A and B are shown apart, each in its own frame.
Chain A
Amino acid sequence: MAVKKFVTGSFYDEAVLFPAVKKTRRAGYKIHDVFTPFPIHGLDKAMGLRDTSLHTAGFVYAITGTATAVGFITWALTVDWQLNFGGKPFFALPAWIPITFELTVLFASIGMVLTFCYLCQLAPFVRKDHFNPRSTDDTFVMALECTDKTNDEEAITFLKSIGATDVQVQYKETGWWLGRYDKETKRFERKEEAVH
Chain B
Amino acid sequence: MALLRYESQVRPALVEGDKDYHQVTEDICRPVEAKPSRLWWIGFLISVAMLGFGILSVTMEVIYGTGQWNLNRTIGWGWDITNFVWWVGIGHAGTLISAILLLFRQGWRTGVNRAAEAMTIFAVMCAGQFPIWHMGRVWNAFFVLPYPNTRGPLWVNFNSPLLWDVFAISTYFTVSLLFWYSGLIPDLATLRDRAKKKWRKMFYGVAAFGWTGSTKHWQRHEALSLVLAGLATPLVLSVHTIVSFDFATSVVPGWHTTIFPPYFVAGAIFSGFAMVQTLLVVTRKVLGLQEYITIEHIEVMNKVIVLTGSIVGIAYLTELFMAWYSAVDYENFAFFQNRVNLNSPYGWAYYIMMGCNVLSPQIFWFRKMRRNLFVTFFMSILVNVGMWFERFVIIVTSVYRDYLPSSWSTYYTPTVWEVGFYMGTFGLFFTCYFLFSKFFPVIAIAEIKHILKRSGENYKEKMTEVERESTDEFVEKHGHDHGA
A-to-B contact residues, CB < 8 Å: 13-15, 18-19, 23, 33-41, 43-44, 47, 49, 51-52, 54-55, 58, 62, 72-73, 76-77, 80-81, 83, 85, 88, 92, 95-96, 98-99, 101-103, 105-106, 108-110, 112-113, 116-117, 119-128, 130, 133-138, 176, 180-182, 196
**Are A182 and B198 in touch, CB under 8 angstroms?**
yes
**Are A34 and B215 in touch, CB under 8 angstroms?**
yes
**Are A37 and B21 in touch, CB under 8 angstroms?**
yes
| B220 contacts partner chain A, Cβ-Cβ < 8 Å | yes
Chain A residue contacts of B227, Cβ below 8 A: 54-55, 58, 108, 112
- Give Cα distance in the complex from A23 to B168, angstroms: 51
**Are B238 and A137 in touch, CB under 8 angstroms?**
no
Known interface pairs A120-B220, A136-B193; A44-B155 also in contact (CB < 8 Å): no
Q: Which of B152, B220, B221, B447 has the most CB of A within 10 A?
A: B220
- Give Cα distance in the complex from A125 to B205, angstroms: 7
**Are A181 and B221 in touch, CB under 8 angstroms?**
no
Find the B residue at minimum CB distance from A122.
B209
Binds A, one of B170-178, B268-276, B307-315: B170-178
**Are A39 and B214 in touch, CB under 8 angstroms?**
no
- Give Cα distance in the complex from A108 to B171, angstroms: 11
| B228 contacts partner chain A, Cβ-Cβ < 8 Å | yes
- Give Cα distance in the complex from A9 to B220, angstroms: 24
Chain B residue contacts of A81, Cβ below 8 A: 152-155
Chain A residue contacts of B447, Cβ below 8 A: 38
| B190 contacts partner chain A, Cβ-Cβ < 8 Å | yes
Residues of B within 8 Å of A, CB-based: how many?
Answer: 75
| B12 contacts partner chain A, Cβ-Cβ < 8 Å | no
**Are B449 and A182 in touch, CB under 8 angstroms?**
no
Binds A, one of B101-109, B159-167, B358-366: B159-167
**Are A128 and B178 in touch, CB under 8 angstroms?**
no
- Give Cα distance in the complex from A19 to B20, angstroms: 21
**Are B174 and A109 in touch, CB under 8 angstroms?**
yes
- Give Cα distance in the complex from A133 to B189, angstroms: 10
| B438 contacts partner chain A, Cβ-Cβ < 8 Å | no
- Give Cα distance in the complex from A85 to B71, angstroms: 27
Chain A residue contacts of B194, Cβ below 8 A: 133, 137
Q: Which of B159, B164, B175, B217 is the one whose CB lies under 8 Å from A85? A: B159
Give chain A nearest CB distance to B82 CB in angstroms.
22
| B446 contacts partner chain A, Cβ-Cβ < 8 Å | yes
Number of A-B contacts (CB under 8 A): 218
Given contacts A37-B213, A80-B153, 7 further A-B contacts (CB under 8 A): A36-B213, A39-B219, A39-B446, A105-B232, A135-B193, A137-B190, A176-B210
Q: Which of B174, B214, B453 is the one whose CB lies under 8 Å from A33? A: B214
Per-position 1/0 for B454-467, Cβ under 8 A of A: 00000000000000
Mostly, the B contact residues are: helix
- Give Cα distance in the complex from A54 to B231, angstroms: 14
- Give Cα distance in the complex from A102 to B243, angstroms: 13
**Are B210 and A121 in touch, CB under 8 angstroms?**
yes
**Are A103 and B175 in touch, CB under 8 angstroms?**
no
Q: Which of B164, B245, B453 has the most CB of A within 10 A?
A: B164
Chain B residue contacts of A47, Cβ below 8 A: 215
| B63 contacts partner chain A, Cβ-Cβ < 8 Å | no
**Are B158 and A38 in touch, CB under 8 angstroms?**
no
Give chain A nearest CB distance to B30 CB in angstroms.
13
Give chain A nearest CB distance to B171 CB in angstroms.
4
**Are A130 and B212 in touch, CB under 8 angstroms?**
yes
Give chain B nearest CB distance to A193 CB in angstroms.
15
Provide a sorted-by-A list of 11 A–B residue pairs whose CB atoms are within 8 angstroms. A14-B1, A35-B212, A38-B186, A44-B219, A80-B155, A124-B209, A137-B190, A137-B194, A180-B205, A182-B202, A196-B216
**Are A54 and B1 in touch, CB under 8 angstroms?**
no
**Are B171 and A103 in touch, CB under 8 angstroms?**
yes
Give chain B nearest CB distance to A11 CB in angstroms.
12
**Are B164 and A39 in touch, CB under 8 angstroms?**
no
Chain B residue contacts of A92, Cβ below 8 A: 159
**Are B167 and A116 in touch, CB under 8 angstroms?**
no
Find the B residue at minimum CB distance from A41.
B222
- Give Cα distance in the complex from A135 to B190, angstroms: 9
- Give Cα distance in the complex from A72 to B153, angstroms: 13
Chain B residue contacts of A133, Cβ below 8 A: 193-194
Chain B residue contacts of A39, Cβ below 8 A: 218-219, 221-222, 446, 450
- Give Cα distance in the complex from A130 to B194, angstroms: 13
**Are B171 and A33 in touch, CB under 8 angstroms?**
no
Known interface pairs A39-B450, A58-B227; A15-B152 also in contact (CB < 8 Å): no
**Are B202 and A181 in touch, CB under 8 angstroms?**
yes
List B209-258 residues whose CB lies under 8 Å from chain A: 209-224, 227-228, 231-232, 234-235, 238, 242, 245
**Are B218 and A124 in touch, CB under 8 angstroms?**
no
| B182 contacts partner chain A, Cβ-Cβ < 8 Å | yes
**Are B146 and A38 in touch, CB under 8 angstroms?**
no
Chain A residue contacts of B212, Cβ below 8 A: 35, 128, 130, 135
- Give Cα distance in the complex from A136 to B24, angstroms: 12
Q: Which of A33, A105, A119, A137 is the one whose CB lies under 8 Å from B215? A: A33
| B204 contacts partner chain A, Cβ-Cβ < 8 Å | yes
Chain A residue contacts of B354, Cβ below 8 A: none
- Give Cα distance in the complex from A19 to B483, angstroms: 10
Chain A residue contacts of B445, Cβ below 8 A: 37-38
- Give Cα distance in the complex from A18 to B482, angstroms: 10
**Are A127 and B210 in touch, CB under 8 angstroms?**
yes
| B25 contacts partner chain A, Cβ-Cβ < 8 Å | yes
| B22 contacts partner chain A, Cβ-Cβ < 8 Å | yes
Chain A residue contacts of B220, Cβ below 8 A: 52, 54, 116, 119-120
- Give Cα distance in the complex from A41 to B449, angstroms: 13
**Are A137 and B22 in touch, CB under 8 angstroms?**
yes
- Give Cα distance in the complex from A136 to B192, angstroms: 9
